[in-house]
Amino acid sequence: MRPPRSGRVPWAARAAVTAVTAAMALGTGTATADVPLGRPITGRMTYYNDRGFGACGTYIDPSTQDLVAVSAAWWTSPNPNNDPLCDGVFVEVSHQGRTITVPVRDKCPSCAATHIDLSEAAFQQLAPKDSGVVDGITWKFVR
């Protein structure tokens, strides 16, 4: 195939390069290999309380259950129900001298890699609900 005369890269080629770059950035191995187990991360926490089926395929009620939704950047399986994050991976969160450990049960599509979205029940164990967004927390993935 000849290169385009204008020297511009066709949109399909640009899309393919973008997809490969994104896959490399997000990791393509198993979550246990890509997730930095035990490495402290400084970031942000928010909370949510939407009931329904979480990314791990189980029914969740964040208003009453302790759980966490983590950034889409940490998920490695096309089907999140089968993602290794759903198989015994927890997040240990520390804020102002308090620490809780909660299971990963959901995905937060709008969260950056350092941002976790706790269930309302878990969030309230670390900060008042009216805080809404808390920066400067420390968290890590644990087994």
Looking at the domain assignment, is residue 10 inside a domain? no
| Residue 65, domain extent | 31-142
Looking at the domain assignment, is residue 1 inside a domain? no
When pLDDT is averaged across residues 96-100 and rounded to a whole number, the result is: 97
Looking at the domain assignment, is residue 4 inside a domain? no
Give the residue among 70, 111, 119 at the shortest CA–CA distance from 90: 70
pTM, full prediction: 0.77
Instruction: Give Cα 89 to chain centroid, integer Å.
Output: 12
When pLDDT is averaged across residues 115-131 and rounded to a whole number, the result is: 98
Task: Give CA separation, 1 vs 11, 12, 18, 19, in Å.
Answer: 15, 14, 21, 21
pLDDT, residue 34, reads: 77
Mean pLDDT of all residues in the chain?
83
pLDDT, residue 10, reads: 40
The 10s digit of each residue's pLDDT in 46-86 is 999 999 999 999 999 999 999 999 999 999 998 999 999 99
Instruction: Identify the helix (H) or strand (E) that includes residue 57.
Output: none
Kindly indicate the confidence band of residue 38, based on its pLDDT and cuts at 50, 70 and 90: very high
Looking at the domain assignment, is residue 2 inside a domain? no
pLDDT, residue 1, reads: 39
Kindly indicate the confidence band of residue 35, based on its pLDDT and cuts at 50, 70 and 90: confident
Looking at the domain assignment, is residue 18 inside a domain? no
**CATH number assigned to the domain comprising residue 117:** 2.40.40.10
Looking at the domain assignment, is residue 97 inside a domain? yes
> How many domains, in total, are found in the chain?
1
Looking at the domain assignment, is residue 26 inside a domain? no
Q: What is the DSSP letter of 141?
A: E
When pLDDT is averaged across residues 105-120 and rounded to a whole number, the result is: 97
| DSSP annotation string for 74-113 | G---SSGGG-GGGTT-EEEEEETTEEEEEEEEEEETT--T
CA-CA distance, 141 to 23, in Å (whole number)?
21
Looking at the domain assignment, is residue 105 inside a domain? yes
CA-CA distance, 27 to 45, in Å (whole number)?
23
Kindly indicate the confidence band of residue 25, based on its pLDDT and cuts at 50, 70 and 90: very low
